Amino acid sequence: MTSNGQYQGSLQYAVDIVMCIDVTGSMHPVLGNVKKSALLFRDRLESVMHEKGKEISRLRLKVIAFRDFADYADDAIEQTDFLVFPEQAAVFDDFVGRLEADGGGDAPESGLEALALAINADWERGLDRRRHVIVMFTDAPAHPLGSPASTAAHTYPPNIPRSMDELSAQWGYGRSQTAVMDNAAKRLVLFAPDISPWTEISEEWSLAMHFPSKAGHGLEEFEMDEIINTIAYSL
């Protein structure tokens, strides 16, 4: 940690955020909002932190856009690396700007694969305090992990857990040996309908917050503030 005697300045606070965004056809009416929010996110976060007199030493964002491996393998996942802000803001803006709601076939979609990729992302390990937030935007249920129609896709990523139990073990709990992420840092924020698997995840997984979209309305609106609260109110 910090070397002895160095007490000036704030704690070094690293914030990493992975946004998993469902970009299948049904998201068409709401993707515009999600994109707009993603693009405005950084400014909003900055102004809230500023109001509170606090600072983020290092902010990185990563986007995982997903559709459906079982429907069309080639565009089932599109993702960025962790992008460092503000240096790589243009890359982020460009990627998000080009997302289009398209394809996916019928519900369910490959949301759990996106979540698995997010959990296994290359999270920051340094600095004094970390906050690692996964945000899921979807209007649909998800294919069960390990379903043959998905795993057969030639683009299916290696090392994706083959069952929900396995994924749950990767998420872990306070003293689990199998958790992939830093327990003190991680949060999961779900903007998803109140259906399987999202309901179970928010009930059974630690550090998960579910803001259910209203039935029949898809993902009509959400507040960036719910994500920002997970960052601005720690320490």
Query: Interface with other proteins includes 213 (CB under 8 A)?
Result: no
- Residue 212 DSSP SS3: coil
Q: Does 212 bind other proteins (CB under 8 A)?
A: yes
| Under rule CB under 8 A, residue 10 binds other proteins | yes
- The CB-of-14 to other proteins minimum distance in angstroms stands at 13
- Distance, first Cα to last Cα, the chain: 17
Region of 28-36, 103-111, 126-134, 150-158 interacting with other proteins (CB under 8 A): 126-134
Side chain identity at residue 101, one-letter code? A
Smallest gap from Cβ 117 to other proteins, in A, equals 23
Nearest to 68 by CA among 9, 3, 8, 22: 22
Tell me the sheet residues that pair with 79: 64
Query: Rule CB under 8 A: is residue 74 a binding residue for other proteins?
Result: no
Closer Cβ to other proteins, 28 or 129, answer by number:
129
**Contacts of 204-211 spanning 24+ positions with Cβ under 8 A:** 204/168, 205/168, 205/171, 206/171, 206/172, 206/173, 206/174, 207/183
> Residue 20 and residue 192: Cα distance in Å, rounded?
11
Within positions 77 to 116, which residues make up the interface with other proteins, using CB under 8 A?
none
Give the nearer residue to other proteins in terms of CB position, either 79 or 230.
Answer: 230
Interacting stretch for other proteins, rule CB under 8 A, among 21-29, 75-83, 123-131, 144-152? 123-131
Q: What is the DSSP string of 31-59?
A: HHHHHHHHHHHHHHHHHHHHHTT---SEE
Binding other proteins (rule: CB under 8 A), the pick from 15, 18, 99, 207 is 207
Residues of this chain that bind other proteins (CB under 8 A): 1-2, 4, 6-11, 50-55, 128-129, 131, 165, 168-169, 173-176, 178, 184, 187, 194, 199, 202-212, 225-226, 229-235
